Amino acid sequence: MDPHITILTLGVDDLERAVAFYRDGLGWPSKGIIGADIENGAVAFFKLQSGLRLALWPRTSIAHDTGLPPTSRAPTGMTIGHNVASQEEVDAAMARAKAAGATITKPAQATFYGGYAGYFQDPEGHLWEVAFNPGLADLG
């Protein structure tokens, strides 16, 4: 199997609020909510780098599609990393996320690996790390 990811889907409780955070608050390109006329079909996509897409899909729709029962949020179940080229870019990204409505869970600071990073939660509780990691290219 070729190791790559094409779509990262985040389950959300309020699709319109989530779209507003990423599109309007963070400035990420999106056509907005599509498929709203289809039961469990409302979703929003955001173009990221190298063909990767971020999808926002209601948790109830994910539960319906997978056949699993709805579950509560689990923010420490995974983090999403956004690596940038400098400490200043970390600070700028964290400030933009906060202005867009994110909750800063850990302000940016020096890390044990010689970098600089902080964490925020989007309005739906998803945990993002914004990091400057000068050794990331050497990790594989």
Q: How many domains does the chain have?
A: 2
Question: Domain residues for 32?
Answer: 7-66
C-alpha span between 44 and 15 (Å, rounded): 8
Q: Please identify, among 19, 42, 66, the residue that sits at the C-terminal boundary of a domain.
A: 66
Per-residue pLDDT tens digits of the chain, which is 140 residues long: 788 889 999 999 999 999 999 999 999 999 999 999 999 999 999 999 888 999 999 999 999 999 999 888 888 889 999 999 999 999 999 999 999 999 999 999 999 989 999 999 999 999 999 999 988 777 66
- Would you say residue 37 lies in a domain? yes
C-alpha span between 127 and 77 (Å, rounded): 9
CATH of the domain at 17: 3.10.180.10
Provide the β-strand partners of residue 116: 110, 132
Residue 21's SS3 state is: helix
Cβ neighbourhood burial of 98 (10 Å; 0-12, 13-18, 19+): middle
